[in-house]
Amino acid sequence: MKPNIAIIGLGLIGGSLGLALKRNPSLQVTGYDRSFSTLEQAFRRGIIDTIATSIENACEHADVIIFATPVNTTVAMMHQAVNWKLRTDVIMTDTGSTKGPIMDAAKQLLERGITFIGGHPMAGSHKSGVTAAKEHLFENAYYILTPDSQTDSAKVEQLRVLLGPTKGKIVVLDSEEHDRMTAIVSHFPHLVASSLVGRLSAQQEEQPFVKKLAAGGFRDLTRIASADPIMWRDITTQNREELLKQLDGWLEEMENVRNMLKSNDPDEIYNYFAGAKQFRDDLPITSQGAFYMTFDLHIDIPDHPGIISEITKILADERISLTNIRIVETRTDVFGILVISFQTTDDRERAKSALSKTMNFSMYIV
């Protein structure tokens, strides 16, 4: 009998997990979503094999249950799951980006003898919903597992093997360590980006043209501020303590910068920027990080009619998909006039290779 995987929530993450897991033909995937139209789409696309009429129905015979829902929703369902009829050897996991509330809710499940292993696939998209689901969404992205200290290591390995078809980089971490690190590299940067946008918004009344000048590097720097405000409201409240620690450190860093500017020592200022440049340049660029990112190719092109259509035709002929294309008007701090965004580093490298064969343009990856 095929192992039965129940996916609760069939949005971008749940739908993409279904597609990825079905690369393994020995798995049977059952799906549940509160939207029946989403369930129908998932079934028609082959994301799931069976439609469940309720959460309990989906989970009753499941070998593995995956909650692919917002953290607050997952926590509520975990409280309900204590009273569900489940297989004695079932494994539960989730996909939430904060693990503290999830692992707290898991304690009552663990007391009942149910194995719960926190999970967080660190991948996403600028699109949402089941229609945006892709089987390759998690490829080469970190997929974090956060088991309780008492969890049987064999169960962790069982889940790791099950998630193999996602082709994600599966790493096991302590839940507190996970929340601390995601606060540093993902959650806190969203706060900073939003605050920078807030500073721009506050000053545009007196300097209305500043909004147009912000179309270059400022726009790239603050891209993540365009994320779903409901999701980031929840993440901020759920990871509040770690974010407060980061904010305290940020304020201390800004005070150091303030003192550096007041002293106006050219060598100190140079060393500050040189150190930041060196550390940033050493960051990896070949894999997905802690939050969704696009992979951009900056191209210096001449301004003549039809040049963009020539470029897009080359990409189309090579069957390379792009997610965005734009002309940058403010270029004092960016590379290239045209910026094309791709979903993967492989697509970006293929595009660069294809364009370099036929067009003598300078291209940059930053």
Both 154 and 44 in one domain: the answer is yes
Query: Judging by beta carbons within 10 Å of its beta carbon (0-12, 13-18, 19+), is residue 25 exposed, middle or buried?
Result: exposed
Same domain, yes or no, for 343 and 275?
Answer: no
Closest C-alpha among 115, 97, 98, 137 to residue 12: 137
Is residue 121 within a helix (H) or strand (E), and if so which, with residue range?
strand 115-121
Number of domains in the chain: 3
Q: Judge whether 120 lies within some domain.
A: yes
What does the alpha-carbon distance between residue 160 and residue 149 come to, in Å, rounded to a whole number? 16
**Model pLDDT, residue 172:** 96
Domain endpoint, select from 136, 158, 173: 173
End position of a domain, from candidates 173, 202, 236: 173
- For residues 154 and 255, state if they share a domain: no
User: Is the pLDDT score of 346 beyond 90?
Assistant: no
* In a shared domain, residues 92 and 224: no
What are the pLDDT digits (tens) for 298-322? Answer: 887 766 788 888 888 999 999 998 8
Q: How far apart are CA 261 and CA 363, in angstroms?
A: 35
Whichever domain contains 187, its CATH number is 1.10.3660.10
Q: Are residues 212 and 307 located together in one domain of the fold?
A: no
pLDDT digits (tens, 9 = 90+) for 97-129: 999 999 999 999 999 999 999 999 988 765 678
CATH number at residue 308: 3.30.70.260
Residue 3 CA to residue 27 CA, distance in Å, equals 5
DSSP string, 185-253: IIIHHHHHHHHHHHHHHHHTTT-TTHHHHTTTHHHHHTGGGGS-HHHHHHHHHHTHHHHHHHHHHHHHH
What is residue 343's predicted lDDT score, i.e. its pLDDT? 77
Query: Is 208 part of any domain?
Result: yes
288 inside domain: no
Q: What percent of the chain has pLDDT over 70?
A: 92
- Between 229-238 and 240-263, two packed helices, what is the crossing angle to 10 degrees? 90
In this structure, the answer to whether residues 81 and 219 fall within a common structural domain is no
Residue pointed to by tokens 């962790």: 156
**Residue for token pair 């191209």:** 299
Sequence-ordered list of residues with C-beta below 8 angstroms from that of 37, at least 6 positions apart, any chain: none
Contact 263, 251 (CB under 8 A): no
Task: Tell me the C-alpha distance between 123 and 364, whole Å.
Answer: 24
Q: What is the pTM of this model?
A: 0.75
- How far is residue 41's CA from residue 27's CA, in Å, rounded to a whole number? 20
Residues 148 and 201 in one domain: no
Domain match, 83 and 150 both: yes
Among 13-22, 53-62, 231-240, 297-306, the range scoring the smallest mean pLDDT is: 297-306
Same domain, 242 and 315: no
Q: How far apart are CA 255 and CA 268, in angstroms?
A: 15
Same domain, residue pair 220 and 313:
no
Tokens (6 digits) for 21: 């897991």
- From residue 70, alpha-carbon distances to 14, 97, 362 in Å are 11, 9, 43
Q: Are 93 and 65 in contact (CB under 8 A)?
A: yes
> Are 3 and 28 spatial neighbours (Cβ–Cβ below 8 Å)?
yes
Q: Please enumerate in sequence order all residues whose Cβ is within 8 A of that of 140, keeping only pairs 6 or more positions apart, or say none.
A: 167, 168, 169, 286, 287, 288, 344, 345
Is residue 161 domain-shared with residue 184, that is, in the same domain? Answer: no
Where in the sequence is the domain holding 267, given as residue range(s)?
178-281
The yes-or-no verdict on residue 218 having pLDDT over 90 is no
Residue 220 has pLDDT above 50, yes or no: yes
In Å, how far are 126, 176, 224, 362 from 324, measured between CA atoms? 10, 36, 15, 19
Q: Which two tokens stand for residue 158?
A: 């069982």
Residues 36 and 169 in one domain: yes
Strand ranges for 43-111 from DSSP E: 50-51, 64-67, 91-94
pLDDT mean across residues, the chain? 88
Cα 357 from Cα 255, distance rounded (Å): 50
Query: Which has the higher per-residue pLDDT, 274 or 305?
Result: 274
**48, 10 Cβ separation under 8 angstroms:** yes
Query: Is 290 a member of any domain?
Result: no
Q: Determine the pLDDT at residue 71.
A: 92
